[in-house]
Chain A
Amino acid sequence: MLRYANPTKFLALSRALRPWLAGATVLLLGAGLALGLRVPPDYQQGETVKLMFLHVPAAWTAMMAYGLMAAASLVGLVWRHPLADQAAKAAAPLGALFTALGLLTGSLWGRPMWGAWWVWDGRLTSFLLLLFLYLGYIALWNAVEDETRAARAAAILALVGAVNLPVIEFSVQWWTTLHQGESIVRAGGPLIAGVYLWPLFLMALGYTLLFVSLWLMRIETAILERRARTVMLEGG
């Protein structure tokens, strides 16, 4: 793993993976949409069940992105490796986007099903906090001029904020929430019928690979920009 902390080796790996990741993302999202848009209406939710194929993958990717950002922040903080800092920084805007999409698609489902765009229950509130953590992290990077100090401050925020991940995950167990409880990964198997589970699985995998593809590309961009800065400084 540490082998790829070298920017040149990372670039070589990223370039090799990019076409495969992009191809797999298109295939998975295409198959997920083809299946998902043709499922029969749920007996309770009607057509709104199709929003689940957007909401759950977005929420899952948002949490995964934060986990990766916190892990990269830890590596950057402990081993002081600039590539880890750049990896964490590159994940933040994407994570914020998936969080916003999770909130928005959830809200679009909540209005017809709960009769409310928003409720202050444990799951929704902790997930909104995730968005604020992402935005705070991005703001911190932009507020501190010195890159090393900015990376350190942002890494501490990312690590402190990681406490929110188990809160989001277990909020439906810890508190009485309007948001439904665990229905996919649970003891006794999923509560969702197979006809809905397959598109959900394909879309979740597609969203995950989309995030990874964009994340790698953003890290590559950061490396290239850093090299350009170095070339300019060397040239005087």
Chain B
Amino acid sequence: MSGPYAAYVLAGYAVSAAALGAAVLLTVRGWLRARQRLAALDAERQP
């Protein structure tokens, strides 16, 4: 990519990729933690 406006385009793609990537990571991490916590509590309840 070249031209006088390339920096604006690259900034747009970089920020979008970082923000959406972070959203995916945080969502998956929250889901994994909730699953692990519930599994641990269930295991504790087993006689």
Query: Does residue A104 face the partner (Cβ distance < 8 Å to B)?
Result: yes
Q: A214-B24, A225-B34 are in contact. Are A232 and B16 (CB under 8 A)?
A: no
Interchain pairs with CB closer than 8 A, number: 87
Q: A58-B16, A235-B44 are in contact. Are A218 and B27 (CB under 8 A)?
A: yes
Contacts of B41 in A (CB 8 A): 228, 231-232, 235
For the side of the interface on A, what is the size category? 20 to 34
Contacts of B9 in A (CB 8 A): 47-48, 50-51, 108
List B18-32 residues whose CB lies under 8 Å from chain A.
19-20, 23-24, 27-28, 30-31
Closest to B11 in A: A108
CB B1 to nearest CB in A, in angstroms, measures 6
Query: Do A224 and B38 touch (CB < 8 A)?
Result: yes
Contacts of A50 in B (CB 8 A): 1, 9, 12-13
B residues whose Cβ falls under 8 Å from a Cβ of A: 1-6, 8-9, 11-13, 15-16, 19-20, 23-24, 27-28, 30-31, 34-35, 37-38, 41-42, 44-45
A residues whose Cβ falls under 8 Å from a Cβ of B: 37, 41, 46-48, 50-51, 54-55, 58, 94, 97, 100-101, 104-105, 108-109, 111-112, 210, 214, 217-218, 220-221, 224-225, 227-228, 231-232, 235
